[in-house]
Amino acid sequence: MDTQTSNIETIDITKLREEFPILSRKISGEPIAYFDNAATSQKPLSVINAISEYYETINSNVHRGIHTLSEEATEAYENSREKARKFINAQNTGEIVFVKGTTEGINLVASSFGSKVVGEGDEVIISEMEHHSNLVPWQKLCESKNAKLKFIPVNDKGELITDEFRKMINEKTKLISLVYISNSLGTVNPVSEIIETAHSFNVPVVLDAAQAAPHMKIDVQKLDCDFLAFSGHKMYGPTGIGILFGKEKHLESMPPYQYGGEMIKSVTYDKTVFNVLPYKFEAGTPNIAGAIVLGTAVDFIERLGHENIHNREMQLLTYANQLFGEIGDIRIIGTAENKTCLISFIINGIHPYDTGSILDNLGIAVRTGFHCTQPLIEQRFRLPGTVRASFAFYNTFEEIDRLAAGLSKVKSMFL
Ligand code: PLP
């Protein structure tokens, strides 16, 4: 298929790819075909350049100085917070906390909010498809509180069994934390429905939006979620920066997660008064460059448009599904009706690592293993791992042709 063909009517994919220098690299003598976007996306020049521009022009510590550089850095940092607020439609910037990423965001909620609301004999609900970063913090919290961690089951297509969820929520449930889009199955979960049910029991809901942020418009007011976390590096931004959204009423009621500079209003030898939101949760010098450049990544996504990104990615997914079907002997793990642009699969009888390394020799980057969802892959689906090809709008139909040819080669070598 022609690499120029795209449904992004206003954007030329070939030109757009030129904004991603890494996509012109060769691996094993072949042009790289990068299908590991769910692990981290590649970065456009606007993001790469914004990092050096920060250090070349306004590098200074934020909120601490009256000198020009510090004021400029603070302004850029706070402008970026405002962009993040708009990006997810939060009510005010006090609800937008800069964190390292999704993992830190969820740990913050588990440690500060979770410790406050979960007690002995209480219950926390997550699902069988959670990333370790939305499982281990709740497991540890429940262990320390003598509380019970319950899992919404997943059917064979990789969808949540919501009828079971309705049976498991009760007056002991104190919190629900759920992945919006599964990183290993691609399932887009019916989070609005779950939030509505949870709220009818007065139970707050945390959303892990790590995979949602690059692929769909998030509206925290419409969703009415209580907390939501995502990472910059999966949405074309830098590593080491992400956002935790929390409803103001919750954040106000929570103790700080860490103590130190920035998060205080005043300190005496005897007592500390904490800062206002969101600074109460931003102890120490933050990742200033990362936070500012997250705003550049938001600009990039908004320039492309969520709908354009979605349409292009769905075209790529449909094309890949068609080719995978033609190859045969491929079992796809995760065939939900509502799915994002990734395919987790195994070629019958062939270990995922073998498939992954042969593809790497052909310049094709896929991920193999548990994808940080070991219980889901090993205990629920009883597999030694899967191969995961996760797409971004900058992938081409020609790259998918190469992936399919690579899989046929793997098949011919082993079967
Ligand atoms: N949740 C999901 C669904 C993910 O895919 C990831 C990363 O792969 C995370 C959480 C953790 O994100 P980070 O490592 O950026 O904190």
Q: Is this model's pTM higher than 0.95 or not?
A: yes
Please report whether residue 42 resides in a domain. no
Same domain? For 152 and 279 the reply is yes
CA of 138 to the centre of ligand 1 (A): 15
Tell me the average pLDDT of the chain. Answer: 96
**Predicted pLDDT at 64:** 79
**Predicted pLDDT at 25:** 98
Same domain? For 22 and 133 the reply is no
Q: Is the pLDDT assigned to residue 291 strictly greater than 70?
A: yes
Is ligand 1 within 6 A of the CB of residue 231? yes
372: annotated active-site residue: yes
**Domain residue limits at 377:** 3-31+305-414
Domain end (from 280, 303, 326): 303
Q: Is the pLDDT assigned to residue 400 strictly greater than 90?
A: yes
Please report whether residue 43 resides in a domain. no
Q: Is the pLDDT assigned to residue 218 strictly greater than 70?
A: yes
Same domain? For 98 and 205 the reply is yes
CB-based contacts of 252: which residues, under 8 Å, 6+ apart? 277
**Predicted pLDDT at 4:** 41
Is ligand 1 within 6 A of the CB of residue 103? yes
Is ligand 1 within 6 A of the CB of residue 208? yes
Mutate to test the pocket of ligand 1, among 191, 211, 342 (most ligand atoms within 8 A of CB): 211
CB-based contacts of 316: which residues, under 8 Å, 6+ apart? 341, 391, 393, 395, 397, 400
Please report whether residue 38 resides in a domain. no
Please report whether residue 271 resides in a domain. yes
Give mean pLDDT, residues 16-34: 97
Find the CATH number of the domain harbouring 254: 3.40.640.10
**Predicted pLDDT at 10:** 59
Paired tokens of 165: 């969820």
Tens of pLDDT, residues 349-390? 899 999 999 999 999 999 999 999 999 999 999 999 999 999
Give mean pLDDT, residues 205-213: 98
- Could you identify the atom of ligand 1 that is nearest to the CA of residue 130? 3
Under the banding of pLDDT at 50, 70 and 90, the label for residue 9 is low
Is ligand 1 within 6 A of the CB of residue 133? yes
Same domain? For 359 and 267 the reply is no
Same domain? For 122 and 212 the reply is yes
Burial of 115 (0-12, 13-18, 19+ CB in 10 A): middle
Please report whether residue 127 resides in a domain. yes
Tens of pLDDT, residues 58-99? 999 999 789 999 999 999 999 999 999 999 999 999 999 999
CA of 198 to the centre of ligand 1 (A): 24
Same domain? For 124 and 145 the reply is yes
Please report whether residue 39 resides in a domain. no
Please report whether residue 258 resides in a domain. yes
Same domain? For 68 and 190 the reply is yes
Q: Is the pLDDT assigned to residue 54 strictly greater than 90?
A: yes
Cβ contact 73:83 at 8 Å: no
The total number of structural domains in the chain stands at 2
Same domain? For 217 and 352 the reply is no
Domain end (from 303, 335, 356): 303
Same domain? For 240 and 313 the reply is no
**Predicted pLDDT at 415:** 85
**Predicted pLDDT at 347:** 96
Same domain? For 96 and 168 the reply is yes
Please report whether residue 44 resides in a domain. no
**Predicted pLDDT at 2:** 36
Domain end (from 303, 319, 341): 303
Same domain? For 329 and 296 the reply is no
Q: Is the pLDDT assigned to residue 110 strictly greater than 80?
A: yes
Under the banding of pLDDT at 50, 70 and 90, the label for residue 263 is very high
